């Protein structure tokens, strides 16, 4: 089951007090971003955040974890999105641990026999 539009709107509303939060659709579910950094996923109407030292520091060693999708690495399962103070602390701590995205490589211009009408 994919994440509903209503749920992703709810998540973004709950996190609207945190600067830079956005979501991007991915395979029927969503990636959750802070500025350009992927913080976690929203899958099947549930928020999952990366397990990194910053998120562990805020949530604690015994925080609930699970798979965002079958076969994924463990993520923290986030509840209590309405707790503005805790969510702000959590996202800021996690942001420090998530690396900047790697720059995208320009697409190579491969010449194929079909596109060039034959090689001479």
- Domain span at residue 94? 5-98
Instruction: Give residue 7's pLDDT.
Output: 96
Instruction: Give residue 106's pLDDT.
Output: 83
**111/108 Cα distance (integer angstroms):** 9
pLDDT tens sequence across 18-43: 999 999 999 889 999 999 999 999 99
Question: How many helices (H) does the chain have, and how many strands (E)?
Answer: 4, 6
Q: What is the CATH number of the domain that holds 69?
A: 3.30.1460
* φ/ψ of residue 50, rounded to 5: -60, 145
Is residue 66 in some structural domain?
yes
Is residue 83 in some structural domain?
yes
pTM to 2 decimal places: 0.83
Q: Are 75 and 68 in contact (CB under 8 A)?
A: yes
**31/74 Cα distance (integer angstroms):** 15
């Amino acid at each position: 089951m994919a994440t509903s539009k209503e749920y992703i709107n709810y998540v973004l509303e709950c996190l609207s007090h945190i600067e830079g939060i956005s979501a991007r659709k991915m395979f029927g579910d969503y990636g959750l971003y802070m500025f350009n950094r992927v913080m976690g996923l929203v899958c099947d109407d549930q928020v999952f955040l990366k397990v990194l030292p910053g998120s562990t520091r805020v949530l604690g060693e015994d925080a609930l974890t699970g798979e965002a999708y079958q076969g994924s690495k463990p993520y923290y399962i986030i509840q209590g999105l309405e707790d503005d103070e805790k969510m702000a602390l959590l996202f800021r701590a996690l942001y420090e641990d998530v690396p900047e995205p790697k720059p995208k490589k320009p697409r190579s211009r491969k010449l194929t026999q079909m596109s060039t009408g034959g090689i001479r």
